Structure 1
Amino acid sequence: MAIQLFHSLFALAHAAPPSAPPVADRIGHTDPAKMRDLTAVHGGAGSMRFGPLLGMDALSTNLIFIHRGVIAPKSGIGQHFHDDCEEMFVILDGEAEFTIDGRTSRIAGPAGVPDRKGHAHAIYNPTDKPLQWLNINVGMTKSYDNVDLGDPRTGVALDPIPQFVTMRLDRSLLKPAGPALPDASAGALYRRALGPTIFSTPWAYVDHILLPPGSTLGNRTQPDMSEVYYVIGGAGEATIGQERAAIKEGDAVPVDLGEARAIRQTGDAPLELMVIGVARDLAAKARYRAETEARMRPAR
């Protein structure tokens, strides 16, 4: 019953509108009051609160959804896999036991674990505190698929060193943006947390950006790359095309193919962003990778 409700909410949240709404209406907002209570998600233990941020209508590329939720203590999402899409569970606050293909490790947030298509994954909150959770799904098409394995992954043996790829959103790892992010103003900090080789779909990268007070990302257009800017912390203003909208912690800002975007920090706290890049298709992703490597190659 719980998984049926999960997929019913998924379908309702991701039905495409007849026309593109204004930019302010396209931004997904984290709203705990609108989250629904679910139990036994993908055969997992306990319960969680769930709410969609962005659906498959958010971008013309193969972003399928971004979900935001809270996993209760001693609860989780059971082991399952996808044949035609891939996901990444991100914990924004707390610690979780992540599983990939039956191997499990405990990881402290903020961190994420990507799961490539055809591989199984799960997450479990073994602590006594709620776990702040984010889920990103990108496919080979706009079609979501899953097979549940009936394994909640509770009480399992843990590997002290994860036997799978992990991603940390650690500010201490950031460096001055420089040529890696040429549209950033002085003072902006940047790190590519996951690159194109990690993903087998058109999902191209995950970036981590920190804009101190007064910093900006200048106007930029990418004809073959779409992006989502998730606000980890702070506040700012996003300009997409000719439209401006205020953004704050918990917002997800979609930028489609060919759309000009600019972002500036506002307020006293730095604006911290996680950026999800999804290419037009696999050929565009390959071109992007080649161009990026050429740009970053030291001059002789």
Structure 2
Amino acid sequence: MSEPTVEVHLSPEQLNQNLRDDARVGLAASPKWLPPKWFYDARGSELFEEITRLPEYFPTRTERELLRVSAPHIAQATDAQILVELGSGSSDKTRLLLDALTAHGTLERYVPQDVSEAALVSAARQLAEEFPSLAVHGIVSDFTETLHNLPGRRGADGSRSGSRRMIAFLGGTLGNLVPEEREEFLASIAEVLEEGEQLLLGVGLVTDPDVLVPAYADAAGVTARFNRNVLAVLNDRLGADFDLSNFRHVAVWDQTNEWIEMRLEARDAATVHLPALDMSVEFAAGEQMRTEISAKFRLEGIGKELASAGFTSDRVWTDPLDRFALILADRV
């Protein structure tokens, strides 16, 4: 077994500065908002793993089954020698791809990317043990700003290395970006891929709101705790004094934009102090702050977005209920 390597392109100091910047802008906005990436401290990651096991939360198990069915076909179609995964987390579902690509005989290196250095180091070590023939090369960074740090197909002299890459972006995370951000992000992926390399994309599909909304507002209240955890992160890292019990979890389906919005609603009026920002924030009773969007897609629409970025996407796997899709897109 080769020891995994981890490159750090996002130091704790940079991470805290990014949090300060996001909090300063989002809490001063009208309406207020916070980016969903700040859910994921150690406790938030634990809560999300718990969410994925809830009966109401179908996306993870649906995507896992699609990967189980499609992974051998993906391996055959791509002959990928390098698998890059953006927002890898525990790399749990990715093992299905790693199994298929190593069995196919092409995969040489796995490049997981995540914002959490501790989580990435732990996952990288475990994967290096499970796949001893595989070089594991982790990258600690923000996935929206990391693409230029990915291993390239060309050497420093511009020559081709010959290693075919596939970038995987799973879990429906693309839906956390608004359309303008998605356009920029997909175009930036296309810029770093060579012609004939692939993007494997997992996206949630538009389906019955009576199924979608409970997936983000479970009966056990796990998602509510996950949502309020972003306030705990601000308390911990910025010295804020949010009273978590004063904020109610809200999940709504926005029919116009075709996305789920998660919000936190102040039960009572409150003044919150953030000493690290030298800032105080007023919340009115009943005021809502957006913490996440989770856009759902129609196949025609996401196909057009991919085409606009420079991909063809004629290989698609969907579940029998058409709630989730895996799309293998080729850079053209």
More strand by share: 1
For normalisation by structure 2, the TM-score amounts to 0.25
For normalisation by structure 1, the TM-score amounts to 0.27
**Larger of the two Rg values belongs to structure:** 2
More helix by share: 2
